[in-house]
Structure 1
């Protein structure tokens, strides 16, 4: 009885309250907030990340350069802070675009069914047949290197994944009684999708977006590592890791610190996804029409 009471009380708490009580979220949110603050504050550094110090090449951490300098004497910490803007762009712009397009395609395919569903899902299956990085490399090879094209490539790669997830959710929701009732009373299809189905996708989309953000960051870092993503002199964590591999004997910090930044950010998004899933799951048994 006590367990049931506790479960009921937890289910009635707002999603945000349950999220903030989760230890995984309490680790992930400060990490992601730090990345966001670094990205927003990076313009305040001016050209510090590009400034060279020929007297201090490939130095380790010191009072003057907290994380050391690279082969051109540039401050590694300043470049990591500058590179956070690229990471934030990937996690918001590319994943946000994929979320919007994928949700639209998934809603149409799952709700309409028939030949529209078959056509859209065969296209999605064709795109999903390619490994993520291979498809991203193909798009970038066609468009050319650069941040904008990398964002487009990552959005193209992530869109079919969102479409597949949304379609599955819509297929399970459209058979519910309140959907049939909405049809009977004459609710227009756009209103039904927007006001009744979309609210029930919020939890799934939030969790999946967090997971896709970590995947997108890996993809961008890989593209930049291969020289097909962000181009010099703009810093990117993946490009910094690649540049540091040539100087590991002289300065280990060149690759280690950008690599740690990538690792922590990816771990934070994955932990946030787990915390979001548990926070939203308390409402799952009680699916009711959106208001």
Structure 2
């Protein structure tokens, strides 16, 4: 996810809007780029005058000279599955696992075709005058590999959004309320000796650890993590009423970005915690977001 995409996410968060539609669009674009590239590789196998027989996919996409992560994806697997099965993801283990999985997939497809031989699927790929036809078995193998890749990309995108948004969001909030840099820190240890990426400090030196979760109200793990980690300030995309009551009962301050002007709740929290601050500089929000993103990039490199 590039800086412009992150900026749009931050703008939508401050506007109280759902940022997910933009992320899904990015995911779709990245996946379609991958699909086109993948299909080009299929055509390249024909252009290289390789025999397109029943096992061409294994020779071209599961060969030992492929990168490990590509082998795993082409076989319709993921790295965690291989590690769980074999307690290792060394290249030789991956090669064995992907070939075993490919054999099992072929056997499953053959069994399916024997039971229902009326199914007919054929993919035709044309690129620069070269045409490649994939029969039913080959088409299902390709579809399976693409489905796994889509799942991998989806998990990676959402994880990336959360991780890459946390720091610039907190920096933007601090700058929006003119919190002097000496009253917020980017690293610290909470009572459980867990490293926390961001925390505020008041004039007496009291430390208030922050947690950012953008997983929505329907994910209880978001709030559960806060209770377990000794967080004093929870910044969330969306919170249920029940979670808000739980947080308040535990003495944890919260900000719900999706609520109307939800970020404005932070100002009263900062005042309560005696952290130096000023009213929000709303007119400068775009500039503040740009500055926060630039600072986050500098701090993370």
Give the alignment's TM-score, normalised by structure 1: 0.29
Report the structure, 1 or 2, having the larger helix content.
1
Give the alignment's TM-score, normalised by structure 2: 0.28
Which one has a bigger Cα radius of gyration? 2
Bigger RCO of structures 1 and 2 (CA < 8 A, at least 6 apart): 1
